[in-house]
């Protein structure tokens, strides 16, 4: 059934309130079951052997001794994961990342795996596997990797997007370009031009729950996988495809997820766990250590970016140009392209160009990390915007307001915007008391804007009404931050019943149609849309049942406040029928009452945020302290404001860690030197102030309630907002993220230009 997707500006009774989340009690009592919290009869412990080299040819793997160790039930290498990808190089890349095939491409790359009766036996077995490596030259820096003489990470790669098509292998997997107008002509018209280069280091999503799964495959080709994932349907499809299983015969259940932020959108060791189970014919549980999480999963890109922006003295940007180099780890991807697309998305520009390079290095395969690629581009662009504003003597907020994109603006990446929130967030920032608060010595204030696309995608939802009139809402989008509460609110709103009457469950892959992964801030947006339609579908059935009970035409029945009512005066003698009454009578009026919806949730609304922060810099040590932080973001419509605020605050905190401290440090040997939370330090409670939030609601015309995704956008501004604040506090321009104390001290010592001018 086709549903009208457009925003209707209805009045809400329940949406927008803040009831307790349905999974709250389980999570405060320790009852909630995460990836590592499942156990199966006869389960084995699976462990993975990883390459200690950044780049090496695997000449031989001898597993014979490990196989003979008592208690070892299976040992596998890439030979146990044959290539079934039929020439699909993207799929083969995923398989090769799960288990090296002839070459180890980064420190931490899996080369073999064992399943044994207990952890101690499995650890001993790993030590008995003999791998004969021939170490090859490696490269881990994005700029080094682009040089002509750099070691080649993937010999089959030829740069896509250049003319003529190259014949020689390169670490540049693709070049993309976005924009419009004539930037050279625009720069000629500028009174002021600022051109600057920036670097950002690699960070990890840092979810507190390591990857974990429990895999079980029988000789009949049927299997089950319990796993912490953002997308169990995607995991099912990928694992089935890589292992040659039927999709319908692999049931994947998503556990409670202990954080993902994009890092749990990709399969890592799950196909390996299934292959171990298949070989051992017993359930196998694989739980990564923190060291493995850092070395072999998910980090975001490190980058190197040049930005050039010109403006006239009356505050108008005449041209903007960015060249962005993003490293994707050892496998090609689109992260540089996304950086190019997002870089100037906040502004209404006549002449704009972004050239992006995706680059391979000997580091782990890069995964999505919350608004992937946008924070680094925003850091470079928003830092430059501040410098341009200073050069022409404009207030940074006013300068951004003057140039902000608006409805009808052609975005630098192509589309023309509908109603958007960049202008309103800037205006809210301008009027925010934070902007006027006094600053003390060594303190600086910075602000910056951020953009994210948001995504909709395939969604399938069931809504079943129990005989007592309570409602089971069954969704297939993994709940990463409270979406079960939001979706229950939406079902209650549509049906006109109390929130407490709805219970939302995330179903396994055998219980519901395909749902795309919870990514692109799509959870509440798309499952919310499917929930609205499923509820309306159920209301259609409820009205039919009432009509049947009353023996009147269904067109004469309406649904209001959780009950069926007969319209028209001639039905005046008919009492209303409540949901409970209709549910109780359902066995006699046609059977179970349910609503369903399958939808490709198009119409995700773009999202913008503006952040303000105050930073104190100790000029003696380079130490920084976040004094005050304010997030202003457009949510479209906040379904459950607590969890919208939570997304804003969490994203800001991740951005703060990225800006000031977090960093992958590689040695000259290409090995990661800080794969643990002691040396890769994420913000702790005492590092941060309260993070103030302001939710703006500029309705998304492509959603019945006006919802926009809210999860990602607020990780985009912090790098730049903090860089602008630190630069203002220290009196020098910081161009390298993270702004760790040594980098700040070095910048102060070198006197990186005056804070604003800094050319």
Partner 1 sequence: MAQGIHVATTINGDAVEYVCQPRETLLEVLRNRLGLTGAKEGCGTGDCGACSVTLDGRLVCSCLVLGAEAEGRSVTTVEGLSTNGNLHPLQKKFIEHAALQCGICTPGFLVSAKALLDRNPDPTEEEIRYALAGNLCRCTGYDKIVRAVDAAAKELRSKA
- Contact positions toward partner 1, by CB under 8 A? 18, 20-21, 23-25, 27-34, 36-37, 39, 118-121, 205-210, 256-261, 287, 289-290, 480-482, 642-643, 645-646, 649-650, 652-654, 676-678, 682-688, 690-691
In DSSP terms, which residues pair with 601 in a beta bridge? 457
Q: How far is the CB of 398 from partner 1 (least distance, A)?
A: 29
DSSP 35: G
Count CB neighbours of 311 within 10 A: 27
What is the distance between the alpha carbons of residues 319 and 181, in angstroms, rounded to a whole number? 9
What is the distance between the alpha carbons of residues 232 and 250, in angstroms, rounded to a whole number? 11
Of 31 and 588, which CB lies nearer to partner 1 in the complex structure? 31
Q: How far is the CB of 45 from partner 1 (least distance, A)?
A: 10
Q: How far is the CB of 628 from partner 1 (least distance, A)?
A: 13
Q: How far is the CB of 303 from partner 1 (least distance, A)?
A: 22
Of 7 and 648, which CB lies nearer to partner 1 in the complex structure? 648
Q: How far is the CB of 680 from partner 1 (least distance, A)?
A: 9
Of 351 and 649, which CB lies nearer to partner 1 in the complex structure? 649
Q: Which residues neighbour 708 within 8 Å (Cβ) at sequence distance 6 or greater?
A: 454, 521, 525, 604, 605, 606, 607, 634, 635, 636, 637, 700
In DSSP terms, which residues pair with 577 in a beta bridge? 564
Q: How far is the CB of 606 from partner 1 (least distance, A)?
A: 24
C-beta of residue 203 within 8 angstroms of C-beta of residue 658: yes
Pair type for strands 103-104 and 56-62? antiparallel
Of 372 and 683, which CB lies nearer to partner 1 in the complex structure? 683
The rounded radius of gyration (Å) of the Cα atoms in the chain is: 27
What is the distance between the alpha carbons of residues 330 and 157, in angstroms, rounded to a whole number? 11
Q: How far is the CB of 110 from partner 1 (least distance, A)?
A: 19
Of 187 and 261, which CB lies nearer to partner 1 in the complex structure? 261
Count CB neighbours of 677 within 10 A: 14
- Helix, strand, coil proportions of the chain in percent (round to 5)? 30, 25, 45
Of 480 and 583, which CB lies nearer to partner 1 in the complex structure? 480
C-beta of residue 55 within 8 angstroms of C-beta of residue 137: yes
Q: How far is the CB of 264 from partner 1 (least distance, A)?
A: 10
Of 426 and 480, which CB lies nearer to partner 1 in the complex structure? 480
**Phi and psi torsions of 568, nearest 5°:** 75, 140
Of 258 and 336, which CB lies nearer to partner 1 in the complex structure? 258
Of 142 and 287, which CB lies nearer to partner 1 in the complex structure? 287
C-beta of residue 194 within 8 angstroms of C-beta of residue 308: yes
Contacts 24+ apart (CB under 8 A), 409-415: 409/348, 410/180, 411/345, 412/178, 412/179, 412/180, 412/320, 412/341, 412/343, 412/344, 412/345, 412/347, 412/349, 412/352, 412/354, 413/178, 413/340, 413/341, 413/342, 413/345, 413/354, 414/178
Q: How far is the CB of 73 from partner 1 (least distance, A)?
A: 16
Of 187 and 643, which CB lies nearer to partner 1 in the complex structure? 643
What is the distance between the alpha carbons of residues 714 and 717, in angstroms, rounded to a whole number? 6
Q: How far is the CB of 23 from partner 1 (least distance, A)?
A: 7
Residue 701 is encoded by which pair of tokens?
Answer: 């015309």
Q: How far is the CB of 485 from partner 1 (least distance, A)?
A: 9
What is the distance between the alpha carbons of residues 411 and 413, in angstroms, rounded to a whole number? 5
Of 71 and 753, which CB lies nearer to partner 1 in the complex structure? 71
Which of 603, 580, 586 lies closest to 526 in space, CA to CA?
Answer: 603
Which of 266, 282, 263, 265 lies closest to 274 in space, CA to CA?
Answer: 282
C-beta of residue 623 within 8 angstroms of C-beta of residue 661: no
C-alpha torsion sign, points 465, 466, 471, 473: negative
Q: How far is the CB of 60 from partner 1 (least distance, A)?
A: 30
Of 167 and 686, which CB lies nearer to partner 1 in the complex structure? 686
């Amino acid at each position: 059934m086709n549903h009208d997707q457009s925003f209707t500006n209805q009045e809400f009774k329940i949406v927008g309130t803040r009831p307790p989340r349905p999974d709250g009690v389980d999570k405060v009592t320790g009852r909630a079951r995460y990836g590592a919290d499942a156990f199966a009869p006869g389960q084995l412990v699976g462990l993975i052997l990883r390459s200690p080299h950044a780049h090496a040819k695997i000449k031989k793997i001898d597993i014979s001794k490990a196989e003979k160790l008592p208690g070892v039930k299976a040992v596998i290498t890439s030979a146990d994961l044959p290539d079934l990808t039929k020439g699909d190089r993207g799929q083969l890349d995923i398989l090769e990342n799960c288990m090296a095939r002839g070459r180890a491409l980064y420190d931490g790359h899996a080369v073999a795996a064992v399943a044994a009766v207990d952890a101690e036996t499995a650890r001993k077995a790993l030590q008995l596997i003999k791998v004969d490596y021939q170490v090859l030259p490696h490269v881990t820096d994005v700029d080094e990797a682009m040089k002509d003489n750099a070691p080649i990470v993937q010999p089959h790669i030829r740069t896509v997007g250049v003319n003529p098509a190259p014949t020689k292998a390169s670490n540049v997997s693709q070049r993309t370009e976005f924009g419009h107008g004539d930037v050279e002509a625009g720069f000629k018209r500028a009174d002021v031009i600022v051109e600057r280069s920036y670097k950002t280091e690699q960070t990890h999503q840092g979810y507190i729950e390591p990857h974990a799964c429990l895999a079980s495959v029988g000789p009949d080709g049927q299997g089950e996988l319990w796993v912490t994932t953002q997308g169990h349907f995607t995991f099912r499809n990928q694992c089935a495809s890589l292992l040659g299983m039927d999709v319908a015969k692999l049931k994947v259940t998503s556990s409670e997820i202990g954080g993902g932020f994009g890092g749990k959108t990709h399969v890592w060791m799950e196909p390996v766990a299934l292959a171990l189970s298949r070989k051992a014919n017993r359930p196998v549980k694989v739980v990564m250590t923190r060291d493995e999480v850092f070395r072999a999963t998910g980090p975001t890109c490190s980058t190197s970016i040049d930005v050039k922006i010109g403006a006239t003295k009356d505050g108008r940007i005449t041209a903007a140009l960015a060249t962005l180099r993003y490293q994707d780890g050892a496998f090609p991807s689109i992260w540089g392209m996304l950086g190019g697309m997002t870089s100037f998305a906040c502004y209404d520009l006549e002449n704009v160009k972004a050239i992006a390079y995706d680059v391979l290095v000997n580091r782990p395969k890069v995964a999505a990390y919350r608004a992937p690629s946008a924070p680094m581009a925003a850091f470079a662009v928003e830092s430059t915007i501040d410098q341009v504003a200073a050069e022409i003597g404009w207030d940074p907020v006013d300068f951004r307001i003057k140039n902000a994109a608006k409805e009808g603006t052609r975005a630098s990446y192509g589309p023309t915007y509908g109603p958007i929130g960049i202008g309103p967030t800037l205006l809210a920032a301008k009027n925010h008391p934070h902007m006027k608060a006094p600053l003390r010595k060594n303190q600086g204030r910075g602000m910056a804007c951020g953009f994210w696309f948001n995504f909709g995608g395939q969604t399938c939802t069931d809504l079943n009404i129990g005989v007592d009139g309570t409602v089971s809402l069954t969704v297939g989008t993994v709940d990463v931050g409270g979406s079960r509460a939001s979706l229950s609110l939406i079902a209650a709103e549509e049906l006109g019943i109390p929130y407490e009457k709805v219970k939302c469950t995330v179903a396994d892959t055998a219980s519901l149609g395909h749902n795309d992964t919870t990514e692109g801030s799509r959870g509440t947006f798309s499952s919310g849309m499917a929930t609205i339609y499923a509820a309306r579908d159920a209301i259609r059935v409820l009205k039919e049942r009432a009509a049947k009970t009353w023996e009147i035409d269904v067109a004469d029945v309406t649904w209001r406040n959780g009950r069926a009512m007969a319209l028209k005066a001639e039905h005046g003698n008919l009492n209303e029928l409540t949901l409970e009454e209709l549910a109780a009578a359902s066995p006699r009026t046609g059977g179970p009452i349910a609503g369903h919806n399958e939808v490709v949730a198009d119409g995700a609304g773009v999202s913008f945020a503006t952040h303000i922060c105050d930073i104190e810099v100790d000029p003696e040590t380079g130490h920084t302290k976040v004094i005050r932080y304010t997030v202003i973001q457009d949510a479209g419509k906040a379904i459950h404001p607590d969890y919208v605020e939570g997304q804003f605050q969490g994203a800001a905190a991740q951005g703060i860690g990225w800006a000031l401290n977090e960093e992958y440090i590689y040695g000259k040997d290409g090995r990661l030197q800080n794969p643990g939370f002691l040396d890769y330090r994420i913000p702790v409670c005492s590092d941060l102030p309260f993070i103030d939030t302001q939710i703006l609601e500029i309705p998304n015309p492509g959603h019945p309630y006006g919802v926009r995704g809210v999860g990602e956008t607020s990780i985009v501004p912090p790098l730049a907002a903090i860089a602008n604040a630190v630069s203002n506090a220290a009196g020098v321009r910081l161009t390298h993220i993270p702004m760790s104390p040594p980098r700040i001290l070095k910048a102060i010592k070198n006197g990186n230009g005056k804070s604003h001018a800094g050319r």
